[in-house]
Amino acid sequence: MKDEYDFSQAEQGKFFVPAEAIQIPVYLDPDIAQFLGQKCGGGADALQTMVNDRLRKDIEIARWVAA
């Protein structure tokens, strides 16, 4: 480590990313990923769409039951 660093050309917040913009990765168990991958016809985009659609339906059901 250096004794001194030159920050005269630094830009504050240059690499800042708002927390809302950060996507949290979700890791599926291998058996779940395999099953859903077969159902949606393969491909990461198709799998992501299928999982999102199913989660939206679960949320809709949960809201209906809670009401």
Tally of structural domains, the chain: 1
Task: Give the chain's largest Cα–Cα span.
Answer: 62
- 7 found inside a domain: no
Contact 28, 36 (CB under 8 A): yes
- 25 found inside a domain: no
pTM over 0.85: no
- 66 found inside a domain: yes
- 19 found inside a domain: no
Give 18-61 as a DSSP string.
-GGGPPPP----HHHHHHHHHHHTS-HHHHHHHHHHHHHHHHHH
Q: Give the range among 24-28, 33-37, 41-45, 63-67 with minimum mean pLDDT.
A: 41-45
- 62 found inside a domain: yes
Contact 37, 47 (CB under 8 A): yes
Q: How far is CA 60 from the centre of its chain?
A: 20
Give the pLDDT band of residue 19 (cuts 50, 70, 90). confident
Q: What pLDDT score does 53 carry? A: 94
- 52 found inside a domain: yes
